[in-house]
């Protein structure tokens, strides 16, 4: 696959930083490894991860085939919203981990996809084949996976370039004063608790995070919020609801204080409700809606 540096903002910026902005699901460590191994060429020549770019540069990237791993295909039921030879869209169940990691070697969405799909893209690496974006374990709803590298690359570009629509439903502890709003700040890793993310003013550790929100209804002092993600940072909605609106998501075991929750619910009340994007190959406009879980029923009466 090939990239061209057209935006002048990337002049004098690092090669690995640019590629990470284009391939949002690939870690910087893996990108640096691909560069060092000669799988990524800058203007036809080997480069280093910290090589400075200039406008007009061309980057040629060749992804090696995923190495054999112990990630096995498992016959786990999937709620498929759409599927063709290029991609698959599923309604991820609450409680399902997206890909294998420490503590979750199997039983993940990736294990299910490996069983269900004949082919998956290799860009995400051997532990994350096909995975273009992620949802937290506790979050349910729409998730798309790619079946080959071209579809993966174009979907990643859509996610990083804000050319798709991601709508979430969040039931929060309390009621915001305003009817709607826009939250725009930076989110980075929490300086003390590495499991958490936090709002930060530091550009070196925080990435731009933008969420538009609207209050839909209120039930027993708790509001149902419609969130539109314009960026896709880790825990973005959870952090924005807690730190920017002051209303943590109900059932959030990381950011909420259990003793202050007005309603006790058995799950994180966050659902990836709608996903809209242009098909990476056919260019057809696609719109998907994951059925709203029953726990949200009181707000939808």
Q: State the catalytic residues.
A: 136
Asked whether 160 and 188 are in contact (CB, 8 A), the reply is no
Q: Which two tokens stand for residue 193?
A: 């608790």
Q: Which two tokens stand for residue 42?
A: 């800058």
Q: What are the distances in angstroms from CA 261 to CA 20, 112, 241?
A: 38, 34, 14
- Phi, psi at 45, each rounded to 5°: -125, 155
d(CA 213, CA 289) in angstroms, rounded, equals: 18
Asked whether 162 and 182 are in contact (CB, 8 A), the reply is no
Asked whether 64 and 14 are in contact (CB, 8 A), the reply is no
45-46/40-42 β-pairing: antiparallel
Q: At what angle do helices 15-22 and 149-161 cross, to 10 degrees?
A: 90
d(CA 221, CA 225) in angstroms, rounded, equals: 13
- Phi, psi at 290, each rounded to 5°: -90, 125
């Amino acid at each position: 696959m090939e990239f061209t540096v057209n935006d002048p903002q990337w002049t004098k910026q690092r090669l690995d930083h640019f590629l990470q902005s284009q391939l949002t699901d690939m870690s910087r460590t893996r990108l640096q490894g691909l560069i060092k191994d000669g799988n990524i060429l800058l203007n036809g020549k080997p480069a280093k991860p910290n090589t400075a770019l200039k406008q007009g540069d061309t980057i040629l990237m060749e992804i090696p085939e995923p190495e054999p791993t112990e990630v096995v295909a498992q016959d786990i039921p999937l709620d498929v919203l759409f599927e063709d030879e290029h991609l698959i869209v599923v309604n991820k169940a609450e409680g399902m981990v997206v890909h294998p990691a420490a503590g979750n070697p199997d039983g993940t969405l990736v294990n299910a996809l490996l069983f269900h799909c004949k082919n998956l893209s290799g860009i995400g690496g051997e532990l994350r084949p096909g995975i273009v974006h992620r949802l937290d374990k506790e979050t349910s709803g729409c998730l798309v996976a790619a079946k080959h590298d071209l579809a993966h690359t174009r979907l990643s570009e859509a996610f990083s370039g804000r050319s798709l629509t991601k709508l979430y439903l969040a039931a929060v502890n309390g009621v915001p004063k305003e009817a709607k709003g826009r939250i725009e700040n930076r989110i980075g890793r929490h300086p003390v608790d590495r499991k958490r993310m936090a709002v930060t003013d530091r550009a070196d550790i925080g990435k731009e995070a933008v969420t538009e929100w609207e209050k839909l209804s209120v039930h027993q002092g708790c509001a149902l919020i419609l969130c539109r993600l314009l960026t896709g940072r880790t825990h973005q909605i959870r952090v924005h609801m807690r730190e920017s609106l002051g209303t943590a998501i109900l059932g959030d075991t990381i950011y909420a204080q259990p003793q202050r929750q007005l309603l006790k619910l058995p799950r994180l009340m966050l659902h990836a409700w709608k996903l809209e994007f242009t098909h990476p190959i056919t260019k057809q406009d696609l719109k998907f809606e994951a059925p709203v879980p029953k726990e949200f029923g009181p707000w939808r009466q």
